[in-house]
Chains A and B, each alone.
Chain A
Amino acid sequence: MSLLEVKGLEVRYGGIRAVKGVDLAVGEGELVCLIGANGAGKTSILKALCGMQPSAAGTVSYAGKPINGVPSFRLVRDGLVLVPEGRGIFGQLTVAENLAMGAFARNDSGEVARDLKRMQGLFPRLAERSGQSAGTLSGGEQQMLALGRALMSKPRLLLLDEPSMGLAPLMVAKIFEVVRRIASEGVTILLVEQNARMALEAASRAYVMESGSITLAGDAKDLLADPRVREAYLGEEAA
């Protein structure tokens, strides 16, 4: 039984079908990635999964229960948490306030305080800047904050939408290090990425999307070696 199971998911914007019947599954504790070009429908899938975009057809079940039409604020309480594309941090609030906001849906204040400490260990940069307003952080630091804030809500399944977007290569490596570490602590992750190499190296399984449909699926290692993937997403000439 997978933690997340998606069958025949369709997402429409007016007359345009952005996602055309997608099946995918993420097992408990897995790190699965979804790669594909711009406009392939990756973000639309994530939005539909977390209740921010209504699905036009198909079923989504999370922890054994159907969640079609369940509003996102309720899903957060059940541990299904999205880190939106472009981070979506609260720029005017301080780093500490942002992290505290992540625990909004929780009411175990003792454990929240402990988790705040844990975040300081996980993200020393953020600890140094806890009193600074989040808008003044660099892009990479903001992404770290977005990850930390999501962790504060005690996720069971984390949906990451392009965490490497617009970051310098060194920062991208750091972000992936954190993503791996979160996964190793037992959080299930569905990672959407354009940086196919980094994503495939981090994930155990992967799906490849092209204009609204899944075209390839399998072990991340196999896909990394697949000539079709190498040509289309890793920028290598076909042999």
Chain B
Amino acid sequence: MALIGIVLVALPFALSQAGTAWVRITNLAILFTLLALGLNIVVGFAGLLDLGYVAFYAVGAYAYALLASPHFGLHLPFWVILPIGAAVAALFGVLLGAPTLKLRGDYLAIVTLGFGEIVRIFLNNLARPVNITNGPQGITGIDPFSISGVSFAKTDTFMGAMISGPMKYYWFLLVVLVAVIAINLRLQNSRIGRAWEAVREDETAARAMGIDTTQIKLLAFAMGASFGGIAGGLFAAIQGFISPESFVLVESIMVVAMVVLGGMGNIWGVILGALLLSFVPEILRYTVEPLQKAVFGRMIVEPEVLRMLIFGFALVLVMLFRPAGLLPSAVRKRELAERKA
């Protein structure tokens, strides 16, 4: 445990040997892990399929961008905005949850998909008559994090070691990630976690157990959304620029794929899924091109094309051979064992 901790803390020094780009890639991977863990609450714990999850990511990102950029001339510190972003995203979660309480499965998926698109289209068009989101141009010049005057955007030297901006964000993200994992683990074994389990299994029976199913489902939407909102705020600060283009349907699907591939409802599985789907494409990007040049002397397949091909193939393989995900949750494992029996 302590060893893993040391490795994780020291990781950016090793990564920056390979280039600062790799620290950035790692940061994005952690952001996606946060998203996947948030979505896992909704999909894995409560069994509510949400295909518009990226909307909450967008809400958190825009909340941060609007409150810390020259766009409105507001420059609030990050520790004020991140909770605001989480709260606003939670509100949007309830906004999505309330009208869809009676929907299940495919029907819920369709409505959530629409919700994600509505949020994106609003962001694209809320530039007139009053310019709120600056439309498709997005918002630029977003403030980076800064703790007592130390900006996360600049490189500092500390005890002879070069500490770049992405490295600072990495450590911050690591702390957030550990906190989110801890919250998830606690939730799973709590009263609330058991109530979600009951709702996922049989809603009528859950009500007959004395569970307020309305409240418990809204809670799942709100909690999942708030994690998305925090990830969004972090994303805005790290990138310094956001536009509606970052919050398209494909991103939602990607996060769902991470959850499903890793193992719905299993926190460690979800983390594994998120890291795999974040890193493998990047590794391909850096290996496919030189490899092809070395073997064929020229590029035959673009890494981007290959990425989708491998991604699709991997999903098919996982669904065939490990239908409950790479690290299935105890309940799903049982479910599948029974179906075979």
Contacts and interface: CB of A to CB of B under 8 A. Distances in A.
Interface in B295-341: 331-332, 334-335, 338, 341
Nearest to B331: A92
Interface stretch (A2-10, A77-85, A112-120, A191-199): A77-85
Nearest to B334: A133
B213 interface: yes
A88 interface: yes
A233 interface: no
Q: Which of B204, B205, B211 is the most central at the interface, judged by chain A CB atoms within 10 Å of its CB?
A: B205
B98 to A, nearest CB: 16
Contacts of A88: 202, 204-205, 208
Chain B interface bracket (under 10, 10 to 19, 20 to 34, 35 or more): 20 to 34
A52 interface: yes
Interface stretch (B66-74, B193-201, B246-254): B193-201
A73 B207 contact: yes
A192 B197 CA distance: 29
In terms of DSSP, what is the predominant structure of the interface of chain A? mixed
Interface string A102-132: 1011000000000000000000000000000
B208 A101 contact: no
Interface string A5-43: 000000000000000000000000000000000000000
A60 interface: no
Contacts of A83: 208
Given A92-B334, A133-B338, A84 B198 contact: no
B213 A73 contact: yes
A84 B209 contact: no
A112 to B, nearest CB: 12
A67 B103 CA distance: 27
Contact of A82 (B195, B208, B211, B213): B208
Contact of A101 (B194, B204, B213, B335): B194
B263 to A, nearest CB: 15
Contacts of B245: none
Interface string A59-87: 00000000000011110110001111000
A136 B338 contact: yes
A144 to B, nearest CB: 15
Nearest to B339: A135
Contact of B194 (A104, A135, A136): A104
B210 A105 contact: yes
Interface in B197-236: 197-198, 201-202, 204-205, 207-213
Interface residues of A, number: 29
Contact of A76 (B209, B331, B332): B209
A181 B191 CA distance: 31
B258 to A, nearest CB: 23
A48 interface: no
Given A92-B335, A104-B194, A153 B205 contact: no
B210 A73 contact: yes
B164 to A, nearest CB: 47
A92 B205 contact: no
Contact of A93 (B191, B195, B197, B208): B197
Contact of B209 (A74, A92, A135, A153): A153
A50 B210 CA distance: 11
A155 B22 CA distance: 60
Q: Which of A50, A73, A89 is the most central at the interface, judged by chain B CB atoms within 10 Å of its CB?
A: A73
Contacts of B202: 88-91
A82 to B, nearest CB: 5
Nearest to A135: B338
Interface string A132-164: 010110000000000001100100000000000
Contacts of B195: 104
A90 B335 contact: no
Nearest to A87: B205
A49 B113 CA distance: 37
B331 A104 contact: no
Interface of B: 191, 194-195, 197-198, 201-202, 204-205, 207-213, 331-332, 334-335, 338, 341
9 contacts: A76-B210, A81-B208, A88-B202, A90-B197, A92-B335, A93-B201, A104-B191, A104-B210, A105-B211
Given A88-B208, A101-B194, A101-B198, 19 more contacts: A73-B212, A73-B213, A76-B208, A76-B210, A84-B205, A90-B201, A91-B201, A92-B331, A92-B332, A92-B335, A93-B197, A93-B331, A101-B209, A104-B210, A104-B211, A105-B210, A133-B335, A133-B338, A135-B338
